[in-house]
Amino acid sequence: MPASHNPKQNQLLAALPAADYERLLPHLEPVTLPLGLVVFESGSKLRHLYFPASGIVSLLYAMEDGASTEIAVIGNEGVVGIALFMGGESTPSRAVVQSAGHGYRLKAAVLKTEFELGGPLQHLLLRYTPALIAQMTQTAVCNRHHAVDQQLCRRLLLSLDRLPSNKLTMTQELIANMLGVRREGVTEAAGNLQEAGLIRYSRGHITVLDRPKLEAQVCECYAVVKREMDRLLPDKTAC
């Protein structure tokens, strides 16, 4: 297995003690996560728990009228499909690969068995959950109170945190769907950022030129979520 494909690229897997990791390893099935892949559909039965190693997965909720909103963003710091180990077998939201990459997955049955052991894996997964919840609640707050410009900043930073480079691949149309706003609204907000020299934009390719300024402009929502993530998933995660 090449160095670029190592389960330990996922921070939760990396935080497992050696013994637990070794036991899990044979069950970790490598998967590629091409852009647009639907990891699981709204309401359908969950068959695997996914550990992204690279790339980004979005949790989306699509309404009856077709409009959608992104609920959370998951990269190599987390897992996709938390309902699985909580005894739910499906969720009303949908998981879509929003930035291509790869990862590993665990069969539902294996996960369940391992989880029931009550060891480090259980603790890690449980500890991750409130961090994810923080992200969801902050999404709700941001949707209510903040302007599109700020939400765009937040969204860019969320992706940036989960990618190795300062280049993002996402069209304005895509961003609009994630934020649940008009495409034109994103055009305008992105134009402002470009004007101010924070990003460069071109046909689906965004280069972040000045991250500090981006952080200066984003709403508090970003920091709140990041703090929770850092707090609950430190290197020193004691299990």
In the complex, the residues that contact its own copies under the rule CB under 8 A are 59, 61, 63-64, 67, 69, 71, 82-83, 85-88, 91-93, 116, 118, 123, 126-127, 129-131, 133-134, 136-141, 143-145, 180, 220, 224, 227-228, 231-232
R_g (Cα) of the chain, nearest Å:
18
CB of 43 vs its own copies, minimal distance in Å:
10
Contact 197, 209 (CB under 8 A): yes
Site for DNA in 118-157 (CB under 7 A): 147-149
- Pick between residue 83 and residue 100 the one whose CB is nearest to DNA: 100
Closest to 108 (Cα-Cα) out of 38, 193, 47: 47
Amino acid 16 reads L
Query: What CA–CA distance (Å, rounded) separates 130 from 215?
Result: 23
User: Other C-beta atoms within 10 Å of 155: how many?
Assistant: 22
CB of 167 vs its own copies, minimal distance in Å:
28
- Pick between residue 157 and residue 228 the one whose CB is nearest to its own copies: 228
Residue 192 DSSP SS3:
helix
Residue 37 site contact among DNA, its own copies, none (CB < 5 to 8 Å, cut-off depends on kind): none
Closest to 125 (Cα-Cα) out of 67, 175, 78, 61: 78
Each residue 169-208 as x (binds DNA by CB under 7 A) or -, in order, gives --xxx------xxxxxx-xx-xx--x------xxxx----
Tell me which DSSP letter residue 118 carries. Answer: T
Contacts (Cβ under 8 Å, ≥6 apart) of 216:
none
By CB under 7 A, the count of residues binding DNA is: 21
CB of 165 vs DNA, minimal distance in Å:
17
- Pick between residue 182 and residue 200 the one whose CB is nearest to its own copies: 182
Helix orientation angle between 172-179 and 148-160, rounded to the nearest 10 degrees: 110
Query: How is residue 19 written in tokens?
Result: 């013994």
Each residue 26-65 as x (binds DNA by CB under 7 A) or -, in order, gives ----------------------------------------
Which residue blocks in 78-182 are alpha helix, DSSP H?
108-116, 120-145, 148-160, 172-179
- Pick between residue 67 and residue 86 the one whose CB is nearest to DNA: 67
- Pick between residue 89 and residue 184 the one whose CB is nearest to DNA: 184
Give the binding site for DNA (CB under 7 A): 147-149, 171-173, 180-185, 187-188, 190-191, 194, 201-204
